[in-house]
Amino acid sequence: MATEVRSIDPGSTGSGSEPTREELLARIAELESAKTTTQRETFKLTDKGGVSMYGFGRFPVTLYGGQWEALLTAATGLSIEDLRGYEAPLVLFMDENRDALSTLDGKKANKLQNTIVKVREEALVKLVREIRKTNPRISVAEAEAQAQAILGQ
C-alpha cells in the first residue's frame, strides 16, 4: 500500500495546496483503520503442539499451551476460566485447538498418570493372588471385586 506524503508548513496561512481539516480527519481515520488491520494478531498451531502468535514484530512468539496460560494469568491476574468469559482471541484459539495442544507440564503429567495406572494394575494383580491364596474357593472375578474395593477403584 503506497502512502501519499504531503508536507504541511506550520507557518503558512492556508494556501490552496494544503489539505483541509476534513481531508486531514479523513486521512487520520484511514491511517487508524490501516493500523488496526495490519497489526492484527493471528495464531497458528505449530507441528509440536505449541501456539505461535504473529503480529508483535518480525518473528512470532511461540509457547506451549501451559506457558500461554501462565503468561495470561500473570499478566491479568485472572484464571483461564475467567478469561474465557471475555472471549479473548488467544483463549478462544487455545480452546478450539485444545486436543492438538502440547504442554510441557502435560507430558510430565501423562508420564506420571501412566506410572500410576501401571502401579495400580500391579497392585491389583498381587492383591487378587493374595485373596485367592487365603480363600482358594473364591472365583477370580470375586477376588478382583474385593481387590478393587480395597484399592478404592
Percent of the chain past pLDDT 90, that is, above it, reads 11
Q: Phi first, then psi: give them for residue 51, nearest 5 degrees.
A: -120, 120
Burial (Cβ within 10 Å: 0-12, 13-18, ≥19) of residue 136 = exposed
pTM: 0.43
DSSP 4: -
Cell of 26: 479523513
Structure confidence at residue 139 as a pLDDT band (50, 70, 90): very high
User: Measuring CA to CA, how many Å separate 103 from each of 64, 87, 93, 132?
Assistant: 5, 22, 15, 43
Is-contact 117 133, C-beta < 8 A? Answer: no
Mean pLDDT of 122-135: 90
Percent of the chain past pLDDT 70, that is, above it, reads 77
Whether the pLDDT of residue 48 is over 70: the answer is yes
Report domain extents, the chain: 15-102, 104-151
